[in-house]
């Protein structure tokens, strides 16, 4: 039986191997597609937790969606709707991330579940039957690989009234 004795050279190579493995992991984690996937999942979790401050951190100041909501109006309406939800669960189905000219788009069907009340039922009845995926468009904000903000959201099949989500 051969025993490997601890010495500087063996320690150096072991440390080098650990550093290379950590570097490969970080490079994978910082890929734009991976960051957008993580940001999208974390945004959905922030909505589930009804954490308006966390939701606001994901949304760009120049956000605009297909329903003519800007950042301020979106956050205002989310606060109003989420106030009445309990144990909300948003489930993405078959998410894909597609790089598009410097931005990245996250696409997935989303189903809604939660403690049943009028608001959750209304939201689920509008969202769950949709066959078209939601499209979240993210833009990198700086040189930092993790600095992505949501700039646009859409779903071709979803129509929202101009007055508000709950009408």
- 47-71 pLDDT, tens digit per residue, is 999 999 999 999 999 999 999 999 9
Whether 10 is covered by a domain: the verdict is no
Res 163 pLDDT > 80: no
Angle at 53 between CA 98 and CA 56, to 5 degrees: 35
What pLDDT does 33 receive?
A: 93
Round to whole Å and give the CA distance between 86 and 30.
Answer: 34
What CATH number should be reported for the domain holding residue 121? 3.10.450.50
Whether 37 is covered by a domain: the verdict is yes
Looking at the DSSP bridge assignments, the partners of residue 109 are 93
Q: What is the mean pLDDT of residues 65-91?
A: 93
What pLDDT does 75 receive?
A: 96
Whether 98 is covered by a domain: the verdict is yes
Q: How many CB atoms lie within 10 A of CB 7?
A: 8
Whether 125 is covered by a domain: the verdict is yes
Q: What is the mean pLDDT of residues 33-44?
A: 96
Whether 25 is covered by a domain: the verdict is no
What pLDDT does 5 receive?
A: 79
Whether 11 is covered by a domain: the verdict is no
Whether 93 is covered by a domain: the verdict is yes
How many domains does the chain fold into? 1
Looking at the DSSP bridge assignments, the partners of residue 97 are 106
Residue 148 domain boundaries: 31-154
The secondary element (H helix, E strand) that includes residue 52 is helix 52-58
Angle at 78 between CA 76 and CA 81, to 5 degrees: 110
Whether 39 is covered by a domain: the verdict is yes
């Amino acid at each position: 039986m051969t025993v490997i004795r601890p010495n500087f050279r063996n320690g150096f190579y072991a440390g080098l191997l650990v550093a290379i493995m950590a570097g490969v992991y970080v490079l994978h984690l910082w890929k734009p597609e991976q960051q957008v996937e993580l940001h999208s999942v974390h945004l959905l979790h922030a909505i589930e937790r009804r954490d308006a401050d966390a939701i606001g951190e994901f949304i760009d100041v120049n956000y605009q969606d297909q329903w003519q909501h800007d950042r301020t109006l979106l956050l205002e309406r989310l606060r109003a709707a989420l106030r009445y939800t309990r144990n909300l669960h948003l489930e993405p189905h078959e998410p894909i991330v597609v790089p598009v000219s410097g931005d990245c788009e996250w696409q997935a069907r989303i189903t809604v579940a939660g403690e049943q009340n009028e608001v959750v039922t209304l939201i689920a009845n509008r969202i769950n039957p949709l066959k078209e995926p939601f499209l979240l468009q993210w833009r990198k904000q700086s040189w930092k690989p993790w600095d992505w903000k949501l700039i646009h959201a859409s779903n071709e099949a979803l129509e929202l009234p101009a007055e508000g989500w709950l009408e």
